[in-house]
């Protein structure tokens, strides 16, 4: 909706389309053909086009108004028509003369006419000549709808969505167009209008993140200020963000900027039980003229068209977060809701965008190499060597990191039960260390074990795969050996055993010498 961005295109199209009697360019020789086509390219909510033949080409310089459109031109303006008084014999010429005048001198009037014709077609069930759907282009952002096998003539082209036909700003170039098809060369139309869209990332630039319960994640939303100069009755613009149950919004962290300037105080942010896990940023001020609960962003957006809107906030992974591998991730979505016409209810929502947040788990399996071992005590440490405080989740022998005031009652050591298995959950990607602080009676303590959780993601941020220690499973086995373990070289134990050995050798030598002396005597 960038104002005037499509005006040159609009003026060119309507001049081209409507100078029927005094054409500004050479017209090819007439031929009765149906090999014409119209290709419309656009973005945003553009989904299809409806193409209506209004005038058919009778010969090289003659166009005939189709019967389906005669009532439109003769019905009075108060009933949605044009109000021409010509009789049927002269109606084609009168209709052409009326439109030609608009096309030559009044681009805005032409835009109004095309939208009026589109509204008539919808209200009176005028049969469309073609209604092709838009298909995605290689750029990933635009779509093209092509109407083919068209007989030559003038066509009303109405892109979807409907509902914008009341907006009379000719710069939009999206509401309705009248175009001429007079050869096999496709008529290409670029809608030009940029509908509001939104982008969302987590951790600075990603569509995905992993976290341990209690971790805070930073989110960034970006959009663009639309041109509101064509909206004389107010303009509504809001960003709606919905967090999964596994994420808790930090309300005090929400910040809104336009072009790098903080405008948070110029927005009304709605939270509350009625919204569930959703919060809404309404740009501008309350406008009672628009109705209860309506907001007008006109003053806030005027003069700022094209500037970047940036919203930042943090959210914490909470204890309701879903574990990876359960078939449900912890999503975070956002969309823009904006005016798409002059009425208070002429609102449209952009496509939703998502980020995906994951948390992982692994099992500690304590064995003697064959059988499970109970009674082994462990600490779980993070990548920096800090001992992680843990709380039981309520599931059997399952622990997660403590959050908030839980740390006061948390434990720093956990002991294996009879089946030898402890479950650790709600952990982010990264490296952890399991340190055995006490071995089962009759067994030696195991060395520290490093546990690495790693994941791969798809381009849309969804989880592709994950593993623990690259073993394709989420279990880590730690084996205890029975018996006395001799100390390694270089330790105090080596000194003790060495001294004891020397003493034994010296003592043995002295005993043998004493015994030999006795024999000799």
Q: pLDDT for 167-186, tens place per residue?
A: 434 444 445 788 889 899 99
Across residues 391-403, what is the average pLDDT?
95
CATH number (domain holding residue 436): 2.60.40.10
pLDDT, residue 23, reads 35
Does 94 reside within a domain?
A: yes
- Residue 270 pLDDT > 60: yes
pLDDT, residue 193, reads 57
pLDDT, residue 96, reads 85
What one-character DSSP code corresponds to residue 408? G
Same domain, 255 and 325: yes
Which range of residues forms the domain containing residue 287?
199-356
State phi, psi for 415 to the nearest 5 degrees.
Answer: -120, 135
**Which of 93-97, 101-105, 408-412, 442-446 has the weakest average pLDDT?**
101-105
Other CB atoms within 10 A of residue 275 CB: 12
Burial 90-119 (b: 16+ CB within 10 A, else e): ebbbbbbebbbebbeeebebbbbbbbbbbb
* Distance set, CA 102 to CA 19, 99, 106, 286, 482 (Å): 10, 5, 5, 38, 97
pLDDT, residue 171, reads 41
- Residue 17 pLDDT > 70: no
pLDDT, residue 512, reads 62
CATH number (domain holding residue 310): 2.60.40.740
Same domain, 368 and 351: no
- Residue 250 pLDDT > 90: yes
pLDDT, residue 283, reads 97
State phi, psi for 374 to the nearest 5 degrees.
Answer: -95, 160
**pLDDT band at 44; cut points 50, 70, 90:** low
CB-count exposure of residue 161 (10 Å: 0-12, 13-18, 19+): middle
Of residues 450, 440, 435, the one with CA closest to residue 481 = 440
User: Which positions ≥6 away from 156 have C-beta within 8 Å?
Assistant: 51, 52, 54, 114, 117, 118, 121, 176, 177, 178
| 363 or 97, greater pLDDT | 363
| 34 or 33, greater pLDDT | 34
Other CB atoms within 10 A of residue 226 CB: 26
Across residues 12-40, what is the average pLDDT?
55
**pLDDT band at 261; cut points 50, 70, 90:** very high
Does 514 reside within a domain?
A: no
| 1 or 300, greater pLDDT | 300
**pLDDT band at 24; cut points 50, 70, 90:** very low
Same domain, 232 and 143: no
Of residues 370, 374, 384, the one with CA closest to residue 422 = 374
Cα atoms in the Cβ-side hemisphere of radius 13 Å centred on 513: 6
In 77-215 the beta strands, taken as DSSP E runs, fall at 135-136, 143-150, 153-159, 177-181, 187-190, 199-202, 208-210
Does 493 reside within a domain?
A: no
Same domain, 172 and 208: no
pLDDT, residue 12, reads 39
User: Which positions ≥6 away from 340 have C-beta within 8 Å?
Assistant: 161, 163, 164, 167, 346, 347, 348
- Residue 51 pLDDT > 50: yes
Does 509 reside within a domain?
A: no
pLDDT, residue 409, reads 86
Reduced to 3 states (helix: H, G, I; strand: E, B; else coil), residue 301 is helix
Chosen domain end from 173, 190, 207: 190
As beta bridge partners, residue 349 has 337
Same domain, 234 and 260: yes
- Residue 29 pLDDT > 80: no
Same domain, 25 and 119: yes
d(CA 241, CA 22): 54
pLDDT, residue 282, reads 96
CA dihedral 100, 102, 105, 108 (to 10 degrees): -150
Across residues 328-349, what is the average pLDDT?
79
Percent of the chain with pLDDT over 70: 78
Element (H, E) at 119: helix 107-123
Does 278 reside within a domain?
A: yes
- Cα 482 to the center of its chain, rounded Å: 55
Tokens 């919808």 — which residue?
A: 122
Q: What is the pLDDT of residues 458-471, one digit of tens each?
A: 999 999 999 999 77
Same domain, 61 and 146: yes
Does 494 reside within a domain?
A: no
Chosen domain end from 310, 332, 356: 356
- Residue 11 pLDDT > 90: no
What one-character DSSP code corresponds to residue 13? H
Does 22 reside within a domain?
A: yes
pLDDT, residue 514, reads 61
Same domain, 336 and 453: no
Percent of the chain with pLDDT over 90: 54
Same domain, 365 and 350: no
Of residues 237, 238, 245, 247, the one with CA closest to residue 202 = 247
d(CA 371, CA 477): 11
Q: What is the pLDDT of residues 117-138, one digit of tens each?
A: 988 998 899 999 999 999 988 8
Same domain, 173 and 268: no
Query: Mean pLDDT over all residues of the chain?
Result: 83
Same domain, 450 and 394: yes
- Cα 434 to the center of its chain, rounded Å: 37
Across residues 228-243, what is the average pLDDT?
86
Across residues 72-92, what is the average pLDDT?
87
**pLDDT band at 472; cut points 50, 70, 90:** confident
Chosen domain end from 143, 166, 190: 190
pLDDT, residue 101, reads 78
Does 115 reside within a domain?
A: yes
Total structural domains within the chain: 3
Same domain, 277 and 174: no
């Amino acid at each position: 909706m960038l104002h005037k961005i499509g005006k040159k295109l609009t003026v060119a199209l309507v001049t081209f389309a409507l100078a029927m009697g005094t054409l500004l360019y050479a017209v090819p020789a007439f031929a009765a053909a149906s090999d014409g086509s119209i290709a419309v390219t656009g973005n945003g909510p553009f989904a299809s086009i409806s193409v209506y033949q209004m005038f058919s080409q009778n010969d090289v310089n003659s166009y005939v108004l189709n019967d389906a459109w005669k009532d439109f031109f003769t019905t009075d303006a108060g009933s949605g028509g044009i109000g021409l008084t010509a009789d049927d014999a002269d109606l084609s010429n009168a209709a052409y003369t009326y439109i030609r005048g608009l096309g030559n001198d009044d681009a805005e009037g032409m835009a109004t006419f095309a939208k009026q014709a589109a509204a008539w077609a919808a209200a009176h069930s005028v049969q469309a000549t073609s209604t092709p759907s838009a298909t995605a282009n290689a750029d990933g952002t635009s779509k093209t709808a092509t109407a083919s096998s068209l007989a030559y003539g003038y066509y009303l082209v109405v892109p979807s969505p409907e509902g914008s036909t009341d907006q009379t700003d000719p710069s939009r170039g999206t509401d309705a167009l009248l175009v001429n098809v007079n050869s096999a060369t496709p008529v290409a139309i670029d809608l030009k209008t940029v509908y509001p869209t939104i982008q969302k990332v987590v951790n600075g630039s990603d569509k995905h993140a992993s976290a341990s319960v209690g971790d805070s994640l930073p989110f960034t939303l970006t959009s663009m200020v639309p041109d509101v100069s064509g909206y004389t009755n107010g303009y509504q613009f809001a960003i709606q963000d919905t967090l999964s149950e596994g994420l808790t919004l930090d309300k005090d962290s929400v910040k809104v900027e336009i072009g790098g300037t903080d405008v948070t105080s110029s927005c009304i942010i709605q939270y509350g039980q009625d919204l569930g896990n959703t919060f809404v940023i309404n740009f501008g001020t309350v406008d009672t003229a628009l109705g209860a609960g309506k907001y007008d962003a006109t003053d806030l957006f005027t003069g700022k068209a094209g500037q970047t809107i940036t919203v930042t906030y943090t959210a914490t992974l909470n204890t309701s977060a879903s574990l990876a591998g359960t078939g449900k991730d912890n999503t975070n979505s956002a969309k823009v809701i904006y005016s798409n016409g002059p009425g208070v209810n002429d609102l449209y929502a952009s496509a939703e965008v998502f980020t995906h947040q994951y948390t992982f788990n692994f099992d500690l399996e304590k064995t003697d190499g064959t059988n499970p071992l109970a009674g082994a005590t462990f600490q779980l440490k993070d990548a920096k060597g800090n001992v992680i405080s843990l709380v039981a989740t309520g599931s059997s022998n399952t622990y997660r990191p403590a959050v908030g005031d839980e740390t006061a009652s948390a434990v720093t050591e956990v002991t294996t039960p009879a089946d030898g298995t402890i479950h650790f959950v709600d952990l982010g990607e990264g490296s952890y260390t399991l340190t055995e602080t006490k071995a089962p009676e009759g067994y030696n303590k195991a060395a520290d074990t490093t546990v690495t959780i790693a994941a791969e993601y798809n381009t849309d941020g969804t989880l592709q795969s994950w593993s623990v220690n690259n073993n394709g499973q989420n279990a880590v086995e730690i084996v205890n050996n029975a018996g006395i373990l001799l100390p390694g070289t270089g330790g105090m134990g080596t000194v003790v055993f060495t001294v004891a050995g020397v003493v034994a050798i010296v003592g043995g030598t002295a005993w043998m010498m004493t015994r030999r002396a006795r024999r000799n005597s």
